Amino acid sequence: MRLKFEHSDDFRSNYLRVLDEDTGKEVGIIRLGGGGVDSSGGIDIWLFDGKYQTRVKRYDTAVGFVLGVEAVLNHRADPQFASKAA
């Protein structure tokens, strides 16, 4: 699994789509802070139907969170680390 960010509408909105490069599927969104009802300016991340979600203040922290989720899921999928329960 390799996750990447993509603007959905030519940079007009404050949303980024998170895509799995291997499957081409959208696996989440990143909402960049701004005005509106919630004007905290935070960055909301919502991945895999909300299984992994957080709010951060900086873009580099958002990137780190997404890369961390990617690393954990790749680790869990690696047969070397599969459960050996009998």
Determine which helix (DSSP H) or strand (DSSP E) holds 56, and give its type and residue range: strand 52-56
Residue 36 pLDDT:
46
What domain range includes position 28? 3-81
Spatial neighbors of 42 by CB under 8 A, at least 6 apart, are: 33, 55, 56, 57
pLDDT tens over the chain, length 86 residues: 999 988 877 667 788 999 999 999 999 999 987 644 455 679 999 999 999 999 999 989 999 999 999 999 998 877 776 665 54
Check if the beta carbon of residue 18 is closer than 8 Å to that of residue 3.
yes
Q: How many domains does the chain have?
A: 1
62 inside domain: yes
40 part of a folded domain:
yes
Is residue 56 in some structural domain? yes
25 occurs within a structural domain: yes
Is 17 within the bounds of a domain?
A: yes
pLDDT of residue 76: 81
Let me know if residue 39 belongs to a domain.
yes
pTM: 0.77
Task: Report d(CA 39, CA 79) in Å as an integer.
Answer: 44
Q: Parallel, antiparallel, or unpaired for β 52-56 and 43-47?
A: antiparallel
Residue 33 lies inside a defined structural domain of this protein = yes
pLDDT at residue 68, as a whole number:
96
On whether residue 86 sits in a domain, the answer given is no
Q: Among positive and negative, which fits the CA dihedral 8, 12, 13, 15?
A: positive
